[in-house]
Chain A
Amino acid sequence: DADVTQTPRNRITKTGKRIMLECSQTKGHDRMYWYRQDPGLGLRLIYYSFDVKDINKGEISDGYSVSRQAQAKFSLSLESAIPNQTALYFCATSDGKKGNTEAFFGQGTRLTVV
Chain B
Amino acid sequence: KQEVTQIPAALSVPEGENLVLNCSFTDSAIYNLQWFRQDPGKGLTSLLLIQSSQREQTSGRLNASLDKSSGRSTLYIAASQPGDSATYLCAVYEPGANNLFFGTGTRLTVIP
Which residues of B in the span 11-49 have a Cβ within 8 Å of any Cβ on A? 31-32, 34, 36, 41-46, 49
| CA gap between A13 and B93 in the complex, in Å | 33
Q: List 29 A-B contacts (CB under 8 A).
A: A33-B100, A42-B89, A42-B103, A42-B104, A43-B89, A43-B102, A44-B102, A45-B99, A45-B100, A48-B98, A48-B99, A90-B43, A90-B44, A92-B44, A99-B31, A101-B32, A101-B93, A101-B95, A102-B32, A102-B46, A103-B34, A103-B46, A103-B91, A103-B93, A105-B44, A105-B46, A107-B42, A107-B43, A108-B42
Q: Is the CB of B43 within 8 A of A4?
A: yes
Which residues of B in the span 92-109 have a Cβ within 8 Å of any Cβ on A? 93, 95, 98-100, 102-105
Q: Is the CB of A56 within 8 A of B43?
A: no
| CB < 8 Å A-B pair total | 53
> Which A residues lie at the B interface, using CB under 8 A?
4, 33, 40-45, 48, 50, 56, 58-59, 90, 92, 99, 101-108
Interface of B, secondary structure class, is strand
| CA gap between A106 and B46 in the complex, in Å | 11
**Does residue B4 face the partner (Cβ distance < 8 Å to A)?**
yes
